[in-house]
Amino acid sequence: MLEIKNLNINYGGRPVLDNLNLRLQKGEIVGLLGPNGSGKTTLLRILAGLEKNYRGDVKINGENPSYLTKSFVSYQPDHLPLDSDYSLKKILKLYEKFFDDFSKEKFEKIIKDFNLTMDMKIKNMSKGMKDKVQISLSLSRKSDIYLLDEPMSGIDPASRKKIMDVIIDNFDSDGLMIISTHLISQVERLLDKVIFLSDGKIILEEKTDEMRNKYKMGVEEYFEEVFNV
Ligand SMILES: Nc1ncnc2c1ncn2[C@@H]1O[C@H](COP(=O)(O)OP(=O)(O)OP(=O)(O)O)[C@@H](O)[C@H]1O
């Protein structure tokens, strides 16, 4: 499904991703965890086909990330890239036109689950509401890979639980989901596997259950120990 070999990228002569190797299978929800600046967004942008200036080999279903793989990669960036005057109804129409795998019914259901309505406009929404729209757009596609970059940064603690429930209910087990976040305790119960990224290097890749058994602690606790938080 996803295979990365010797992936490197530099910004201003400084390595931001440093010789990454990774293989992930479908059906997994993977937490991409690391301190600020460790390279999480850069990695997701490469997988989404938005960053070309890398060295190494990245294969998604056997293809390099490009406009071709965008048809089976659902990327939710950390801000809503849509005109702020658009209503959800209009955004739905755009997505239906643009993505063959977009489900109107699923979008309407998730929007309702989040207590939003289709006539709401982006410009009148709070940051948390926009985050919910992004998650809804992402989950409403039937993709092979879902990339969620800090999906809950603007969301209040009560709504975070709701979001976790919506992700669990709507995650397609034929897909692979990679979630980058600092809110580890909030997503911990979702994760099948975790990756710790430090200064552009993978310093740990482990199944969540195995990590708990091996180190006798949860993901957040182990993260804090490794990164001296
Ligand atoms: N377009 C760019 N030009 C120059 N430097 C960049 C660019 N994009 C990212 N960087 C640098 O690359 C490093 C990794 O950034 P990235 O956004 O991938 O980290 P991150 O792990 O997602 O961080 P955060 O947790 O703060 O979101 C940072 O030092 C950042 O300043």
Q: Give the CA radius of gyration of the chain.
A: 17
Residue 35 CA: nearest ligand 1 atom is: 25
Give me the helices (H) in 99-228, please: 104-113, 127-139, 157-170, 184-187, 208-215, 219-226
pLDDT attached to residue 79:
64
Task: At 25, list the tokens.
Answer: 């299978």
Task: At 106, list the tokens.
Answer: 């699923």
Give 71 Cα–ligand 1 centroid separation in angstroms.
Answer: 26
- Per-residue pLDDT of 199-217, as tens digits, reads 999 999 999 999 999 999 9
Q: Would the pLDDT of 1 be above 70?
A: yes
Assess whether the C-beta atom of 49 lies below 6 angstroms from ligand 1.
no
Amino acid at residue number 116: L
Q: Are the C-beta atoms of 202 and 212 separated by less than 8 Å?
A: no
For Cα atoms 21, 193, 40, give the angle at the middle one, nearest 5 degrees: 55
Assess whether the C-beta atom of 200 lies below 6 angstroms from ligand 1.
no
Tell me the average pLDDT across 44-61: 94
Nearest to 192 by CA among 208, 179, 216, 177: 208
Q: Are the C-beta atoms of 4 and 24 separated by less than 8 Å?
A: no
pTM for the model: 0.91
Residue 12 CA: nearest ligand 1 atom is: 4
Task: At 194, list the tokens.
Answer: 């975790």
Residue 180 CA: nearest ligand 1 atom is: 22
Confidence of residue 54 (pLDDT cuts 50, 70, 90): very high
Nearest to 60 by CA among 132, 146, 137: 146
| DSSP SS3 for 87 | strand
Domains (ranges, CATH) in the chain?
2-81+143-226 (3.40.50.300)
Assess whether the C-beta atom of 224 lies below 6 angstroms from ligand 1.
no
Assess whether the C-beta atom of 11 lies below 6 angstroms from ligand 1.
yes
Assess whether the C-beta atom of 36 lies below 6 angstroms from ligand 1.
yes
Lowest mean per-residue pLDDT among 53-57, 87-91, 95-99, 119-123: 95-99
Check residue 141 and report its DSSP letter. Answer: B
Give 39 Cα–ligand 1 centroid separation in angstroms.
Answer: 6
Nearest CA to ligand 1 atom 10: 11
- Per-residue pLDDT of 126-139, as tens digits, reads 888 888 898 899 88
